[in-house]
Structure formats: structure tokens, C-alpha cells
């Protein structure tokens, strides 16, 4: 059976390309990093647990991607540029089957890492119930980080991409929904399995957005976090929520607005900006070829409400909570 | 049932005293840190899994201490000064019993954190099989980090404190040994449950030691790591190994030298230094009121061997491996 040290050597040591700011990577008691002058460090840590955040039979390539992606998404939400990651992996065994699984996991992890010039600098491997903890580290110029606090009354509220795709993929996976086409099902599943951290958008918003958060728990819950930290409220227009064609079809079939509002795992950016920034934001959207949609407005009243297409109003749901519910696949 | 957000707010947000270099702590997508000019960052991540690194019925105060201590020990082994920690906690439930447990865990964690001015800056809470992942971050002046590589032929090999206490406590806990007195048993158990990271020693050794590592896997295994990275070998004198009174009694009873050599979890520092540094090292020992013992010498031959008190020689064991064996309580 391969030893812990063999595993580390084999899969982790040269997994990612070296960076100039890494003085010492994997293989000593600590990694050593040289932070460039004039940069602040942003760090985020997330754990994915088998049976909770992913099904045990998940494709390990996807899981490796996702474990890093959810952390890079947090960097994106701060406007930070990714730099390095640490990875702690708890595996049930180290036999040949798990070594193959690990190879695939690292393939997914490292492919995404190389897209963003992220170096894997350290971590741990232990035996136990399957789970993955990643910490991502990035840079942001002092004073330019996008915080949750900072939204101002009258700000417009924006989201990138589309909402509810991952949630609908989960419903499909759990047999509660069947998309109309195989292509739609594949599109949704890819959104659940391989979220795209909006790094370029986060960086572009540094001097534009007043407040930002990534949507991991669901639009309602994450907008609530942003509003609570900012001491404001929000009014959302359901008809303006950006949805993909499969989710549009689902909404026509079910009128279930909870899906785009409460489903998590979208990993899109939710941010607010001054009304006067509208054209600048559309330029960013154009440049990044990424839809950015205005979905409502920040209000002085601290409640969160949504106007439905029929003109009625409802409070916004507060989404997913790891301890209050037990759904799979939400970050 | 308390939500994830409630848990974070209640136990983590103001758990530790604020530091000047923390721009933004817990509560946003990322923590933001301002690294002082002229310092490199050292980071280390370790996971403790229930049933593997600790028994589920462990005192949570001890577990909180240990989860941080094993990471601070890695900083110590690099000669780094601790600064911040992140904590990812996977809990089976969030009911009243687990909330009490969590309060105790955080008490142990934060008491040790405050000893070293460590601020808890972020992390994650998820539901699942009990485990704890901590990443510790510290500072070290450029070029002064203590690495595993760097041991030179003719260097003297030193260890701090005593060896084998945690291993004997584990044997006791598993019913394989009974210390002669209750006091001895308590002393051993404290060494297993509440290891003391040798931070001050690591810092004092910055310009003295040629190479260093902390003893988590066992003297033999960790000396092997150091020698492999340095491209050297080592000759150890069993009679010089520093042991506590209970371990001394055990050795007299059993002649089992594998205990101080192969048992892990000691979290003492193992380092090498030039023969000419001997008096300087004894001054450090005196100043820190911490025994530092010369146990052997670095050799050109890359093998590791130990001379037993009877004059015979044996190869040094390679200690604990998380995937090759299944003992509890070794980092």
C-alpha cells in the first residue's frame, strides 16, 4: 500500500507550475511565500464532504475542479487575483482504485489551477471519511477589495451569468425533474459539477462595485448577507432574473421562483454599484463576454423583497444552510 | 437547530484578539491580511480525523488545543512566528450537545491561540464525520527559515524535550501498558493531549540550526525526512535519547527502544547544528528552560542507524504512516 509520503510525492509535489512568489512549496514543514510589496493577501477556506456537498460516485475530475473553484469564487468575490492553494484530502484508502481516483481528482484540480496560475504549495493527506478542504490565497491592492459591506441605498444590484442551473441539475440528479432534452440536462449538470469562478469579473469590478459576494448559498441568502453587512435592504424583480433556457422552460412549467432565488451552487457574482456605473458595467460584460444583469435595487428599508411577474411581492427566501437542511451539492 | 451562520457568528467571530495585520477577519468571502514589509509568510495545514488522530470521546478542550498546536509546531520547525489561523470544522450535528462540545473545542483552541497572539481569521463549518482542519500562518525573515534540507556532515543532532511520552500514553489508553503511578499516567496523557509547540525555540534557532523538523511521525521517520532532504545520513546514540521518568521506567521494564524512536506525536524539534554551536545551543536551552539534548551526529553515509546501550547497532525505524498503519493519535 502506498504511504502518505509516496502519495504526496507522487501527486502533489510537481502538480502545478512554479510561481516566482513561492520560495518553498510542498515538502517541508511549511511553505514559504514572498508577498509582493503593495499587495494585501486574501484567503478563503472551504470544505467539501462526501454525502453532503457531493455524491460519493461523483466524477473525481469534476470534484477536483469544484473543490478549487468554490474557493477561487470567494477570491473573485473579493476582487482578488489567485496565487496559491493548499489542499487537505481525507481518503478512505490508498489502494490502486483510490490512487486512480486521486489521479483524476488532481487532474481536475490542476487544470483549473493552471488556468489561473495557481500553485499548490502544501496540505495534508489523511485516512478517513472522504472530504476535501482547500484554502485559496490571492492578492488585492490595499483598499480595493470588494467587501460585503458597502452597498448604498439606490445602488443597482447585478448578477453575472445565470441563476438556478446548478439547483435544477441537482433536482434532475435526485429524480425530481427531467429536462426536456439531453443537451439541456448536460448543460445543467456541467454548471453543477464545474462552476466557473468569475475571477476576471471580480478584478474588473475593483473600483466599480460598492459591495460584492459570490452566490454559493443562493441568491436570497447571499443577498441577505450582503445587505446585513451593509445595513440596507433590497428590492428584486423576478422577471429580470437571468436564467438559462432550461431554467426558463422549468419556470414556465412550474412557476417555481424559489429555484433561481434559493438554489445554491451557482458561484456567480452578486454585486451592487452606483446607477452612474451602468455603462461601465455593460462594457465589462462585453469585454468578458459574460452576461451581467441588473436584477433590482438597494433600499433603505432593511427587508428583502421580490416583485413577481404578476405584480405581487414576496419576501426573499434565505436559501441553503449546511446545518438547517441536508441537500447535497451546495457550497 | 442553529444554522451554520449562527455557529460562525457565535463561536468564531470574536474568538481571538484582533491583530494589526488583519485588515478583515471572519465574516466576508475572504479574510484580508497586510503582510509586514521584509517578512516571508510560512503556512502549514493539518487535518485531524476522529477515529484516526483522536478518539471520538476525546476532551474537546484538548482537541481544540491540539488541532492548533500541531500546526504551530510546523511553524516552530521553520523558525516562524505565528500570526493567524483558519479553521474548518466538520461536525456530525449542531444540536445543544454539539454546541457545548464546540464551545469547549474553541476554548482549547483560543487559549493556545492567545498564548501566541494568533488571530482566527476564517474557515468553514460543514456537517459530516467529525474532523478538524487548521492552517497556521506565520512570519519569518527572508533567508532565515529553518528547512529540512541543510544538514551538514559532522553536524550534531539535537532534540528538545523528551521522546516517547505521547506514544506511551497511547499504549496506556489502548490498555497495552500501565504506568507505575497515577501521576506518571497523567503526565504522559498531557503530553499526548496537549503538545506544546516549540515556537520560542524555533525562533531562537533561526541563525543557529542548519536544518530542522518537528517530530510528529516519530524520531526515526522525521530524521529520515531531514536526512533525505539534506542528502546525508545519521548515527544516533540510544543512551542519549532524552526520556521522561515514566518512559525511563518503561525502557527498564521492556528494553523497547522502538518507543522513543518510532512513536509519533511528540511535537518536539529535531535539528542539526555545527559542533561549534554547542555552547550557544545550551544557552538557548537555559534561557527557555527547555532541555535540548545532543543525540547523535550527521554522517556522509546516507543510512540512519542507532547504537544501543549494549553497543550493538540497528537501523532506525521509519515510524508512523497514516496510510500504512492505523494507530490513533499521531499527527
Q: Is B20 exposed, middle or buried (0-12, 13-18, 19+ CB in 10 A)?
A: exposed
What is the secondary structure of A306-321 as a DSSP string? EE-TTS-EEEPP----
Nearest residue in chain B measured CA to CA from A87: B45
Confidence tier at B166 by pLDDT (50, 70, 90):
very high
Confidence tier at B287 by pLDDT (50, 70, 90):
very high
Please name the member of A135, A225, A322 whose beta carbon is closest to the beta carbon of B127. Answer: A322
How far apart are the C-alpha atoms of B210 and B203, rounded to whole Å? 13
Residues β-bridged to residue A169: none
| A79 within 8 A of A145, measured Cβ to Cβ | yes
State the best of A3, A30, A42, A56 to mutate against chain B, taking most chain B CBs within 10 Å.
A30
pTM over cut 0.90: yes
Element (H, E) at A168: helix A165-173
Residue pLDDT, tens place only, A234-251: 999 999 999 999 999 999
What is the secondary structure of B185-219 as a DSSP string? HHHHHHHHHS----HHHHHHTTTT-SEEEE-SS-H
Residues of B in contact with A149 (CB under 8 A): 28
Please name the member of A35, A43, A131 whose beta carbon is closest to the beta carbon of B122. Answer: A43
Flag the least confident range among A326-330, B6-10, B75-79, B127-131.
Answer: A326-330
Residue pLDDT, tens place only, B229-259: 999 999 999 999 999 999 999 999 999 999 9
Average pLDDT on B271-284 reads 98
Tell me the three cell numbers of residue A109.
484540480
Residue pLDDT, tens place only, A81-94: 999 999 999 999 98
Tell me the shortest Cα–Cα distance from A259 to chain B, in angstroms: 21
Residues of A in contact with B211 (CB under 8 A): none
Please name the member of A42, A47, A323 whose beta carbon is closest to the beta carbon of B3. Answer: A323
Interface membership of B175 toward A (CB under 8 Å): no
Q: How far is CA B289 from CA A31, B161, B282, in A?
A: 29, 10, 10
Tell me the three cell numbers of residue B99.
454546541
pLDDT of residue A4: 64
Flag the least confident range among B129-133, B171-175, B295-299.
Answer: B171-175
Residues of B in contact with A5 (CB under 8 A): 225, 321
Residue A58: which residues within 8 A CB-CB, separation 6 or more?
Answer: A193
A 52-91 near B (Cβ less than 8 A): 52-53, 74-75, 77-78, 80, 86, 88, 90
Q: How many helices (H) and strands (E) does chain B have?
A: 10, 13
Long-range contacts of A97-102 (CB under 8 A, 24+ apart): A99/A2, A99/A7, A101/A60, A102/A7, A102/A11, A102/A60
Nearest residue in chain A measured CA to CA from B137: A30
For the cut 80, the answer to whether the pLDDT of residue B326 exceeds it is: no
Q: Is B97 exposed, middle or buried (0-12, 13-18, 19+ CB in 10 A)?
A: exposed
Average pLDDT on B26-46 reads 95
Q: Please provide the average confidence, as pLDDT, over all residues in chain A.
A: 92
The position carrying cell 494585501 is: A40
Interface membership of B37 toward A (CB under 8 Å): yes
Confidence tier at A5 by pLDDT (50, 70, 90):
low
| B52 within 8 A of B88, measured Cβ to Cβ | no
For the cut 60, the answer to whether the pLDDT of residue A177 exceeds it is: yes
pLDDT of residue B323: 53
Percent of chain A having pLDDT more than 70?
Answer: 93
Tell me the shortest Cα–Cα distance from B189 to chain A, in angstroms: 23
Residue A153: which residues within 8 A CB-CB, separation 6 or more?
Answer: A232, A298, A299, A300
Residue pLDDT, tens place only, A257-286: 999 999 889 999 999 999 999 999 999 999
B128 with A49: Cβ contact below 8 A = yes
pLDDT of residue B233: 97
Helices of type H across chain B: 4-7, 60-78, 96-115, 165-173, 182-193, 199-204, 219-230, 245-254, 258-262, 278-288
How far apart are the C-alpha atoms of A291 and B89, rounded to whole Å? 36
A 10 A CB-CB count for A287 gives 11
How far apart are the C-alpha atoms of B327 and A49, rounded to whole Å? 23
A31 with B24: Cβ contact below 8 A = no
Residues of A in contact with B34 (CB under 8 A): 40-41, 142
The DSSP symbol for B8 reads I
For helices B182-193 and B245-254, the axis angle rounded to 10 degrees is 110
Percent of chain A having pLDDT more than 90?
Answer: 87
Amino acid at each position: 500500500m502506498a504511504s502518505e509520503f509516496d502519495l504526496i510525492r507522487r501527486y502533489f509535489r510537481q502538480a502545478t507550475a512554479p510561481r516566482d512568489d513561492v520560495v518553498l512549496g510542498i515538502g517541508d514543514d511549511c511553505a514559504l511565500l514572498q508577498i509582493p510589496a503593495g499587495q494585501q493577501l486574501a484567503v478563503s477556506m472551504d470544505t467539501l464532504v462526501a454525502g453532503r456537498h457531493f455524491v460519493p460516485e461523483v466524477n473525481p475530475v469534476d470534484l477536483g475542479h469544484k473543490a478549487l473553484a468554490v474557493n477561487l469564487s470567494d477570491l473573485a468575490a473579493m476582487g482578488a487575483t489567485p496565487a496559491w492553494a493548499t489542499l487537505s484530502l481525507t481518503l478512505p484508502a490508498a489502494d490502486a482504485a483510490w490512487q486512480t481516483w486521486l489521479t483524476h481528482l488532481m487532474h481536475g484540480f490542476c487544470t483549473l489551477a493552471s488556468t489561473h496560475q495557481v500553485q499548490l504549495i502544501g496540505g495534508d493527506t489523511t485516512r478517513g471519511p472522504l472530504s476535501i478542504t482547500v484554502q485559496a490565497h490571492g492578492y488585492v491592492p490595499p483598499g480595493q477589495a470588494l467587501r460585503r459591506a458597502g452597498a448604498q441605498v439606490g445602488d443597482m444590484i447585478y448578477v453575472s451569468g445565470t441563476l438556478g442551473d446548478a439547483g435544477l441539475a441537482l433536482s434532475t440528479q435526485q429524480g425530481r425533474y427531467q429536462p426536456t432534452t439531453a443537451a439541456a440536462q448536460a448543460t445543467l449538470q456541467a454548471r453543477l459539477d464545474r462552476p466557473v469562478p468569475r475571477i476576471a469579473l471580480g478584478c474588473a469590478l475593483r473600483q466599480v462595485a460598492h459591495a460584492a459576494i459570490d452566490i454559493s448559498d443562493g441568491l436570497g441568502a447571499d443577498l441577505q448577507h450582503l445587505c446585513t453587512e451593509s445595513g440596507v435592504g433590497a428590492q428584486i424583480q423576478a422577471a429580470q432574473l437571468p436564467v438559462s433556457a432550461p431554467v426558463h422552460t422549468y419556470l414556465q412549467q412550474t412557476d417555481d421562483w424559489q429555484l433561481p432565488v434559493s438554489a445554491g451552487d451557482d458561484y456567480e457574482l452578486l454585486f451592487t454599484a452606483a446607477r452612474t456605473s451602468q455603462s461601465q458595467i455593460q462594457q465589462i460584460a462585453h469585454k468578458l463576454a459574460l452576461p451581467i444583469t441588473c436584477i433590482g435595487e438597494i433600499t433603505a428599508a432593511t427587508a428583502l423583497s421580490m416583485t413577481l411577474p404578476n405584480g405581487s411581492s414576496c419576501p426573499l427566501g434565505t436559501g441553503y444552510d449546511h446545518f438547517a437542511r441536508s441537500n447535497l451539492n451546495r457550497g
